[in-house]
Amino acid sequence: MEHPENDEAYKGLKVNKGVADVPTVNPYLQKRIRKSFTPTEYVDGILDGNITILSQAVTLIESAKPEHQQVAQEIIERCLPYAGNSVRIGITGVPGAGKSTSIDAFGMHLLEQGRKLAVLAIDPSSERSKGSILGDKTRMEDLAREKNAFIRPSPSAGSLGGVARKTRETIVLCEAAGFNTIFVETVGVGQSETAVHSMVDFFLLIQLAGTGDELQGIKRGIMEMADGIIINKADGDNIDKANLAAAQFRNALHLFPPTNSGWIPKVLTYSGYYKLRIAEIWEMVDEYITFTRENGFFDWKRREQSKYWMYESINESLRDKFYHDPLIENRLKLVEQKVLENRLSSFMAAKEMIDLFLENISGNQK
Ligand code: GDP
């Protein structure tokens, strides 16, 4: 029987016949060597909606090599005038909350409406775990087969700030390529929500109904960021529990101060698996977008986010230059030791290092 995976629509997945002897030279090696393009070819390809070129440009953004970064920055600059024309949605929830199942269902719903969807992810732990589980094609089986969906896992290298910056830059390229809806997925465990919040228009928190004490363990800050709280797995025996959890969340939200946008966050129940009440969730998101566009908050927030990212980029670049300065790299451990042995205060140690760095760069310029 033909494997269904052989279908053209199943791009990225392929079943090969078994071989008796594994050849010593990998026959696919040739295919994996990527042709590189000029920045103009990249930009033209992206504006044309060419997914292969878009993917390769994202790979340049993710690369640590300075020559790749330089080309990537040029591509981003030239795509910027064509970017911004999308709705950006952050999606978070603890592992098991049903993020991938829900994104698959939400995505299919949006594609049916004629939208084009890019699913990106921020997972700062992916470097340690050697590979990201977020924004992974295999987790979103339906979407992965759709030509109007672009799925990209989290960039794996570096600090949260670095990973988040790369994702933000990827948004620019996706928008220039015509994706008018962007999902940014993250695991609901801490800091990464703030990073996602700083690049999206609407922040969606996926929750589960539990044993009646679901409000415990959710960081207040995360709830405060949410524009919508959606309670998943409201199906079968779980419906009553989900409704109870929704009531508890609504009560809890009343105690929060009013939001800057003037929007009152909503709480809805749904089932990602059985695709129940998905349309209501997107009606809520659309309502929010219309509401905040009308009162000016939408544009104000985007401008604030640009400002935030300017400062983030400055901080990241300064930090990078400082820690990669050979003189600093050389001295830092020694000074650290002195601090550990109480021979130098942390404050003096920091001052010494900063002074050394500043002297060094001003000396280099002379
Ligand atoms: P993630 O870790 O947040 O991406 O969660 P998954 O999407 O992988 O879902 C975790 C588990 O919950 C899987 O076994 C899903 O089949 C199940 N699940 C997800 N959504 C629903 C739902 O709406 N109803 C029910 N009953 N199970 C669900």
Instruction: For residue range 325-336, list pLDDT tens digits in order.
Output: 999 999 999 999
Atom of ligand 1 nearest to the CA of 272: 23
pLDDT grade for 211, boundaries at 50, 70 and 90? very low
| The two three-digit tokens of residue 110, written as one number | 């949006």
The rounded Å distance from CA 236 to ligand 1 centre is 14
The rounded Å distance from CA 98 to ligand 1 centre is 4
Three-class secondary structure of residue 8 per DSSP: coil
Query: Mean pLDDT over residues 7-31, rounded?
Result: 56
Between 177 and 141, the more confident residue is: 177
Instruction: For residue range 231-240, list pLDDT tens digits in order.
Output: 999 999 999 9
Report the percent of the chain where pLDDT is more than 70: 83
The rounded Å distance from CA 118 to ligand 1 centre is 21
Q: Which residues contact 83 (CB under 8 A, 6 or more apart)?
A: 171, 172, 173, 175, 176
Look at residue 26 and tell me whether its pLDDT is greater than 60.
no
Between 132 and 289, the more confident residue is: 289
Q: Roughly what angle, to the nearest 10 degrees, separates helices 66-79 and 39-47?
A: 40
| The two three-digit tokens of residue 118, written as one number | 């890019």
CA 296 to chain centre: 25
Instruction: For residue range 289-311, list pLDDT tens digits in order.
Output: 999 999 999 999 999 999 998 99
The rounded Å distance from CA 231 to ligand 1 centre is 12
pTM over 0.85: no
Look at residue 216 and tell me whether its pLDDT is greater than 60.
no
Which of 101, 106, 207, 239 maximizes ligand 1 atoms within 8 Å of its Cβ, making it the mutation to test the pocket? 101
Three-class secondary structure of residue 117 per DSSP: strand
Atom of ligand 1 nearest to the CA of 276: 23
Which protein residues touch ligand 1 with a CB less than 6 Å away? 93, 95-101, 232-233, 235, 271-274
Report the percent of the chain where pLDDT is more than 90: 61
User: Which residue's C-alpha comes closest to atom 26 of ligand 1?
Assistant: 233
Atom of ligand 1 nearest to the CA of 139: 8
Between 28 and 87, the more confident residue is: 87
pLDDT of residue 34: 56
Whose tokens are 């609901």? That residue is 188
Angstrom CA distances, 359 to 3, 88, 149, 168, 344, stand at 66, 43, 51, 34, 21
Which of 104, 205, 273, 278 maximizes ligand 1 atoms within 8 Å of its Cβ, making it the mutation to test the pocket? 273
pLDDT of residue 1: 47
> In whole angstroms, what is the distance from residue 86 CA to residue 227 CA?
17
Query: Mean pLDDT over residues 193-211, rounded?
Result: 87
The rounded Å distance from CA 105 to ligand 1 centre is 11
Q: Which residues contact 237 (CB under 8 A, 6 or more apart)?
A: none
Look at residue 178 and tell me whether its pLDDT is greater than 90.
yes
At residue 87, what are phi and psi to the nearest 5 degrees?
Answer: -105, 125
| The two three-digit tokens of residue 174, written as one number | 């996706």
pLDDT grade for 56, boundaries at 50, 70 and 90? very high
The rounded Å distance from CA 193 to ligand 1 centre is 20
The dihedral through the CA atoms of 4, 118, 169, 122 has a sign that is negative
Between 72 and 13, the more confident residue is: 72
